[in-house]
Structure 1
């Protein structure tokens, strides 16, 4: 029997060593447990210790590509605030605000609307101390406060923005076999981490109808964490009024397949290597999120591609205006525009999801 170490000894181990020790002492772990440890371990997780964004990080998000992205979302938020009769106090919450770039661009535009700044209660949900420091530096003038959960909301309407947030929530994976579905797990083979399947089958009747007739070896991904987050936020929006805008890569209806991926230094990496030093994510099942939102009493808009959404909001016109004011940067502005909306770049890969109070008409979506 392997002796369980003390907390002091655990703290001296790398995250890789801690994960291997947990598997060795307690058996294989789920993909969700592995993702959770890799990304949000209290002291050694990727989002606790790393600087993931930008040229020096592992990936670049839309707000880092161009100010136009945040500016158009700022316009979108003002439009909804006006539709809600310009409440004198409302909460604007961003989930996973990164370096604060998106929110800074949003508020630079939105606060030009008379009354918006005075009514604003800015809230941020973040787990990375490194990123929280950058958010504070960029957004301090707006007096932000950081939420630790989704229960402590001020009274009044709530507008929520989540750009590349849901893709980082832990998923579970299941594989169809002869006697049912088996959860994919991570164990040790000859001392190295490897994927395998739980020997205990899950009855097909407990899986979604969309995969009732799945072929052998079909994989299904389920994100219970995303459903839990949206259930809590949906309840708040249903009670207080407002909307949630989520932008991420994903699909509109539940589908099968393995989308688990890792990125390190702007290149794809092995999911099982370098835990805590690699970003891990999976595609978002927006169809499942829509079901959760509607169950909470919210309305949803038809899922849009990012390119369609930004074009409807006027990114072409905004790019032309910026180029006219900054002719020396016209080529860079055109490149950023194409990267955000191009069908072979971010335009089709990224989807835009909106759940909101019945009666609101969020711009940017197909009629």
Structure 2
């Protein structure tokens, strides 16, 4: 039995049933959690993110950062922050593309928010020339102008699940039935107050998901960039508007698993509520751009043109690989529709050129 699974069982035995949010927090970020010492990425891992699909993803994000920095007035010094940077692939590709703007590279101070020491070592190998600094939370990054990137971070933040019953909303919890973990229902807690208007017309049996952790993080990001002149790009998967549905799932070896079966040894995720993120960021005073689909975002940034440029210098086999990579990133039946991009910015951002933030 995985140590995280054992710890969760002991905690339930002592404290009683856990909310889905508490379960996710313990299984993913607890002392023996999935994200503490595990490299989940790549073919040999449990899932593949967009930066691992193609270098073009990170390169276009890098050019987006350069454009955004210019829109912010080209500050002489700023924090370039990535939350959940994986193996450092996205940032390495982004900074390579950013060589077209030497002043941008000279001005940036690179910060990586990462709790996984194994991944920190891989990030250090790829990004050593940029002297990154590591943090466990965004709060550890000093004040000042900031451009922040978060790719596939919010889907791993804990969610509460609420189920509509004949007696009204109840919170979904995880309990022990003998030696088996199983879902049950309990009186709703504070998460009930986070229900969105779209949840109010729910019928019996409907599931609503809310994430105080996600709302708290986007609020902190928005307040930082409003106060200190900055911008943020969030890319993840989920609906553009708040809605109903059970999206809580587990992934292991690129296959879906029952969420309670391999706690600590499988990734736990849920769809991101972009409607809730947008509302929270706007309430904090940020300008919000999007969300738009990842396909539309990458097309607007020129991914097809970039692929054509690379293909002209490549053999037929490499050209076919590029074609498949673009298809996976932007095709509606692949990552192009489910994944969304949303941009946040402070009031000082220049929106005169090409409207808002590039691609959004």
SS of corresponding position for 1:301: strand
TM-superposed CA distance for 1:111, in Å, is: 2.9
Q: CA deviation at 1:136?
A: 0.8
CA deviation string 1:201-239 (max 9, x = no partner): 889887433222211111110000011111111111011
Post-superposition Cα deviations, 1:299-326, rounded to whole Å, max 9, x if no partner, equal 1112110010000110010000111111
Displacement of 1:180 in angstroms is 1.9
Which residue among 93, 98, 106 is the counterpart of 1:110? 98
1:352 corresponds, among 318, 341, 347, to 341
Matched, 1:38 2:40: no
Aligned length: 353
Q: Which moved more, 1:154-163 or 1:287-296?
A: 154-163
Which residue in the other structure is 1:253 paired with? 241
> In the aligned structure 2, how far is the partner of 1:348 from the partner of 1:41?
32
Alpha-carbon separation, structure 2, partners of 1:156 and 1:362: 20
- Whether the 8 Å CA contact 2:289–2:343 is kept in 1: the answer is yes
1:99–1:132 Cα contact (<8 Å) kept: yes
State how 1:1-367 maps to structure 2 within 5 Å: 14-42=3-31, 44-199=32-187, 207-328=195-316, 329-358=318-347, 359-360=349-350, 361-365=356-360
Q: In 2, Cα distance between the equivalents of 1:321 and 1:207?
A: 47
Contact 1:182/1:202 (<8 A) preserved: no
Cα distance in 1 between the residues matched to 2:2 and 2:190: 35
- Structure 1 length-normalised TM: 0.92
* Aligned 8 A contact 1:90 1:155 in 2: no
When the two chains are superposed, the root-mean-square deviation of aligned CA atoms in Å is 1.8
Which residue in the other structure is 2:353 paired with? none
Task: With the length of structure 2 as denominator, give the TM-score of the two structures.
Answer: 0.94
List per-residue Cα deviations over 1:158-212 (Å, max 9, x = no partner): 1010000000000000011122211000001131000010156889887433222
CA contact (8 A) 1:162 1:245 kept: yes
Distance in 1, matches of 2:194 and 2:131, equals: 46
Report how far residue 82 of structure 1 moved.
1.1
Contact 1:72 1:315 in 2 (8 A): yes
Give per-residue Cα distances to partners, 1:40-70, cap 9 Å, x unaligned: 112x111112110001100000000100000
Deviates more, 1:51-60 or 1:176-185: 176-185
CA shift in 2, pair 1:112/1:204, >3 Å? closer
Between 1:199-208 and 1:158-167, the stretch displaced more is 199-208
Structure 1 contact 247–351 (Cα < 8 Å) conserved? yes
1:17 & 1:206 partners in 2: Cα distance?
Answer: 31
Shift of 1:290: 0.6
Are residues 203 and 308 of structure 1, via their aligned partners in 2, closer, same or farther at CA, if it must alter by over 3 Å? closer
Secondary structure of 2:325's counterpart equals helix
Q: Assess, with a 3 A threshold, how the Cα gap between structure 1 residues 134 and 272 changes in structure 2: closer, same or farther.
A: same
CA, structure 1 residues 90+204, in 2 after alignment: closer, same or farther (shift >3 Å)?
A: closer
Question: Is contact 2:111-2:141 (8 Å) kept?
Answer: no
Q: 1:199 to 1:114 in 2, by over 3 A?
A: closer
In structure 2, how many angstroms separate the alpha carbons of the residues matched to 1:337 and 1:355?
Answer: 26
- 2:138 partner SS: coil
Q: How far apart are the structure 1 equivalents of 2:250 and 2:143?
A: 39
